[in-house]
Amino acid sequence: MKIREYRSYFIQELTPIFDEGEAESFFYLILEEKQQLKRIDLALQPDLELNENEIVIWNSFLEQLKQEIPVQYLLGKTSFYGLDFEVNSNVLIPRPETEELVEWIIQNSKISVEDKKIKILDIGTGSGCIAISLAKNIKNSKVFAIDISHKALATAKKNAENNKVEITFLQENILVTTDLNQNFDIIVSNPPYVRNLEKQEVKKNVLDNEPHLALFVEDNDALIFYKKITELAKKNLTPSGELFFEINQYLGPEMIEMLEKMNFHNIELRKDIYGNDRMTRGTR
């Protein structure tokens, strides 16, 4: 079968579940990863064929996508801030909104003295996407990363090696930590923030596959991680050190109020590319 013919079949099979554009994007991601071909290759060579073994592999991907298993997990990788990351069911799939948070921190760090060593802590690192992207892009940074999950840390360590950056990884339950034992210039976190009451808004492919430990908090204590991390930041940020969060889009005002009560200043709330409240910054 010609690849372009299979493409039409593939998209047709998925469109009852996904929109056509998303189904097409899945096709080209698999094409590049498994066939080492790009969209332009099909345009230039319309008669390229799939052999029987290749069709079996493609059909396996197709059936798993119909079950709404994320394509990133099927491929075992994704791209984030221009870097490649291995991902699996032990870590969240990095999202574009988090790239915006990373960009904010990088641009903000450029204001700092260029030859100053910047110590950064990423709390709840997961795949390591934030920590590694910052280490790769902020000159003279020394980056630390914490997660409660040893399986997530194993993935993050591999990603750090693959991207050729040095990160100090620590396994720790941040909710029971009383002191970080050293000071940092920047603390950043994208902690669990989806309330149980918001589960109905979460897509099935996320709800059924991504780790709930990294996603959900109780309705009656939605800011539990933010409160704890902010308390630690009061102790362990350097003077004028900065605290960055990715946040629940519905809790922007509550986040600002919390940071104000903890005596942070220069507090800023930013929207993401979709127009939702998504990031905060506060200065110690």
> Residue 114 is part of a domain; what is its CATH number?
3.40.50.150
Looking at the structure, do residues 172 and 203 belong to the same domain, yes or no? yes
Q: What is the pLDDT of residue 114?
A: 59
Residues 104 and 226 in one domain: yes
Q: Of 67, 94, 114, which closes a domain?
A: 67
255 and 135 in a single domain? The answer is yes
In this prediction, what percent of the chain has a pLDDT beyond 90?
Answer: 88
- Give residue 36's domain range: 3-67
Which residue intervals of 110-175 are DSSP H helices?
129-137, 150-162
Indicate whether 99 and 239 sit together in one domain: yes
pLDDT at 113 over 60: no
Task: Classify residue 163: in a domain, yes or no.
Answer: yes
Closest CA to 61 of 34, 40, 21, 86: 34
pLDDT at 280: 98
**Do 115 and 245 fall into the same domain?**
yes
Residue 73 domain flag: no
Share of the chain above pLDDT 70, in %: 98
Residue 87 and residue 73: Cα distance in Å, rounded?
6
Residue 194 lies in a domain: yes
63 & 24 share domain = yes
pTM beyond 0.75, yes or no: yes
| Residue 76 within a domain | no
pLDDT in tens, 188-211: 999 999 998 998 898 888 888 989
Number of structural domains in the chain: 2
Inside any domain, residue 98: yes
Identify the domain boundary among 44, 67, 90.
Answer: 67
Per DSSP, helices labelled H in the chain are 3-14, 20-35, 39-44, 52-66, 71-75, 96-109, 129-137, 150-162, 204-207, 224-236, 252-261
> In one letter, which amino acid is 226?
Y
**243 touches 265 (CB < 8 A):** no
Interhelix angle 52-66/20-35, rounded to 10 degrees, is 140
Question: Same domain, yes or no, for 154 and 249?
Answer: yes
Q: Are residues 16 and 93 in the same domain?
A: no
Q: What pLDDT does residue 7 have? A: 95
Q: From CA 170, how far away is CA 148, in angstroms rounded?
A: 8
74 found inside a domain: no
Provide CB contacts within 8 A for 13, sequence distance 6+.
62, 66
Is residue 112 over pLDDT 80? Answer: no
Q: What is the mean pLDDT of residues 17-30?
A: 95
* CA 214/CA 45 separation, integer angstroms: 44
Per-residue confidence (pLDDT) for residue 199, from 0 to 100: 87
| pLDDT, mean of residues 160-172 | 98
Handedness of CA 39, 45, 46, 48 (dihedral sign): negative
Residues 29 and 53 in one domain: yes
| Whether residue 55 sits in one domain with residue 143 | no
Residues 51 and 86 in one domain: no
Q: From 67, 93, 110, give the residue that closes a domain.
A: 67
- Picking from 45-59, 122-136, 205-219, 260-274, which range would have the lowest pLDDT averaged per residue? 205-219
Q: Are residues 92 and 206 in the same domain?
A: yes
143 or 207: which carries more pLDDT confidence? Answer: 143
